[in-house]
Chains A and B, each alone.
Chain A
Amino acid sequence: MNRETTIWTLLFIVGGLSLAYHVQSSERGVGQQFVIPVEIAGRVDAATGVIVPLGAGESTEGEGVIKGVRYDKAGRETSQAVYSLSRTIGVWVAAILTLCVFSYLYRDNPFYKLVESIIVGVSAGYWIVQYGWTVLVSKVLVKLSPDLARYAFLPETPVDAKPEYLYLIPVILGCLIFCRLIPKAAWLGRWPLAFIVGTTAGLKLILFLNADFVRQIRSTILPLVVLSTNASGGSDFDWKQSIQNLVIVVSVLSSLTYFYFSVEHKGWVGRISRVGIWVLMISFGASFALTVMGRITLLTMRLQFLFDDWLGLVRM
């Protein structure tokens, strides 16, 4: 065993022992979750069909009142707090999965691979259910057969809704995509793709031209000398805004010059394109710094979860 491995093994043993000690000695309990049952009551609004909470002083025993219980997260010390087994299991599973992911920092290992596979599987399942419900049921079935949708899935579907058979076209096009799985009929799968590519390109072109191209050019046409009105009604030179506008204009022009390859980058063109490189480098640096900020926030969130929800070391 080399020195590095010995040190890291010792660190893991110390970490494990302190966790075991904390499990034994913690007053909050490790990963133990508590909830307060809150009784809620409401009445169905005849006009909207929505359950509306009862007004102040209204009796919960009245006719048509619907009662239920909501479980709010609470601390162990809170009076009336009850232990929640399902939430406790959830927190322990989440904590163990988090540690499995962190274990990759030490080296690649089977625990990390297991979590990676779980994420892929859960994501795929989630998306299938989400799209199945939102697209196939809420959009397609409701439009093509509102009566069936009302009977089987969505009782709130309006009674007077009529089938809209125009929706058969996207359904057929959607089905044709699966023809790619049949070699002899694979050519049929190109039709929906052609439709998607064509409509997306057309839509995107117009919107991009408007929102990005034209508006961005307009946003870059800025006054280099900005005058602001002072209290006495006269004009003052606004040096701050003027410098800001100058930086924007110079940065845009120099970056564009860097990507202009029809002229050799020599002489003044070369010098301006060099400024463009600096502008690009500064923007890459800013992007990198902001990426680091985002990643640190992710780590912070996971450690907050481990220290608060799981170990109970702090109270957020």
Chain B
Amino acid sequence: MSSSVTILDRLNVLDRRWIFLAMALAVAAPILLGIGSDESPSPPTKRLFDRLEELPEGSRILMAIDFDPNSAAELSPMALAFTRHCCLRRHKIYFVTTWGTGVPLLDATIKTVVQSEFGRGDRPYQYGIDYVNLGFVAGDAVAISQLTSDIRKARSQDMQGTSLDSLPVMNDVVSLQDMQLLITPSAGFPGAKEWVQYAGTPYKIPLAAGCTGVQSTQLFPYYPDQLVGLVTGIRGANEYESMLASKYPVPYAEMSKRPASLRGGPQRWAHRLMISLIVLGNAIHFANRYRRSSHS
């Protein structure tokens, strides 16, 4: 009896730094041991994947990289996976960001996928012909509205200062209404919600979104009527990567090309720890309540 009381007393005053340490170990161990995970696709993720598969080669896809380094851990793997899929299907990609701090992440996505993986070989992806970097468009949600009515009014030059009129990829493209699909891995404002309000719904442009876990409960009401697909958090990114790996095993089955799958292992162990801590916390709460009632 006295030993159980001692344990309860110790747990009541447990230094929270032990919990931080336990969480650090739960995340660090799978990274050091190289434990990843695969996820079976959920319908919102699969629907986007299928849509990109069905679109004919050369379809115009706008990729809006609307996030910053704060949410890159969740959204960067998504952006890489979406871009890879577009390149594999030989779609024309129009990169843009409505976040000033999204520019380096946009550049990194282009460099990692389009230039490094698809920039060589028999049919290399060529700038100005197969893809364009429109860069940062200032004006938040109004910028989306402007892009929807006339891209050149929102931005007359690309990221390097080249006039959009001189790029073949911009031929016959006036506004976002000329796109076959808009995809936005987005973190906040302006983000997927604004793309739905200012572009997707009023102009009936097919729109798909990737979002952080925190945002997903706000965006699920738009699926499936106003969003073609919705990829949520690192789990959604992992689902997308797993589908890419299964459809295009060479080279996308390799773990080095699957950052979200690599983050799946630590995620799993950290969740197990969280569930244990919640159970333990509740057990302590009820034990304290029982102790108070038995003393009074």
Contact = CB atoms under 8 A, between A and B. Distances in A.
Nearest to B262: A316
B250 interface: no
Interface in A239-269: none
A212 interface: yes
Given A105-B20, A211-B196, A307-B28, A72 B116 contact: yes
A294 B128 contact: no
A154 B197 contact: no
B213 A139 contact: no
B234 A293 contact: yes
B103 interface: yes
Interface string B262-275: 11001100110010
Contacts of A52: 126-128
Nearest to B28: A303
B157 A138 contact: yes
B128 A50 contact: yes
Interface in A107-149: 123, 126-127, 130-131, 134-135, 138-139, 142
A291 interface: yes
A219 B128 contact: no
Contact of A301 (B72, B122, B226): B72
Interface string B150-192: 0000011100011101111000000000000000000000000
Contacts, number: 166
A210 B167 contact: no
Interface residues on A, range: 35 or more
A26 interface: no
A234 B71 CA distance: 49
Nearest to A129: B100
A155 interface: yes
Interface string A1-17: 00010001001000000
Interface in A263-316: 283, 286-287, 289-294, 296-301, 303-304, 307, 313-314, 316
Nearest to B234: A297
Nearest to A136: B138
B233 A293 contact: yes
B100 A134 contact: yes
B168 A287 contact: no
Interface stretch (B214-222, B240-248, B285-293): B214-222
A53 B124 contact: yes
Interface string B28-66: 100110100000000000000000000000000000000
B interface bracket (residues with beta carbon within 8 Å of A): 35 or more
A291 B213 contact: yes
Contact of B214 (A127, A219, A283, A291): A291
A296 B202 contact: no
Do most interface residues of chain A lie in helix, strand or loop, or is the interface mixed?
A: helix
Interface in B185-213: 196-198, 200-202, 212-213
B101 A126 contact: yes
B171 to A, nearest CB: 11
Contacts of A287: 214, 217
B235 A293 contact: yes
Contact of B226 (A105, A139, A211): A211
Contacts of A303: 24, 27-28, 31, 266
A300 B27 contact: yes
A237 interface: no
A96 interface: no
Contacts of B15: 4
A208 interface: yes
A157 B167 contact: no
B270 A296 contact: yes
Contacts of B161: 154-156
Contacts of A4: 15
A301 B73 CA distance: 6
A313 B162 contact: no
Given A48-B166, A210-B201, A215-B201, A292 B274 contact: yes
Interface in A194-223: 203, 207-208, 210-212, 215-216, 218-219
Interface in B122-139: 122, 124, 126-128, 135-138
B31 A53 contact: no
A300 B116 contact: no
Which has the most chain B C-beta neighbours within 10 Å: A53, A156, A219?
A156
Given A134-B136, A203-B145, 10 more contacts: A50-B127, A157-B163, A158-B165, A203-B142, A219-B226, A291-B213, A292-B271, A292-B274, A294-B73, A307-B28
- List the 5 shortest-distance A-B pairs measured between CB atoms, nearest first: A290-B213, A301-B73, A211-B201, A130-B100, A50-B128
24 contacts: A8-B17, A52-B126, A53-B119, A106-B17, A134-B136, A139-B138, A155-B161, A158-B163, A207-B202, A208-B197, A211-B202, A283-B217, A287-B217, A290-B212, A293-B267, A293-B271, A296-B270, A296-B271, A299-B23, A299-B27, A303-B27, A304-B31, A313-B32, A314-B31
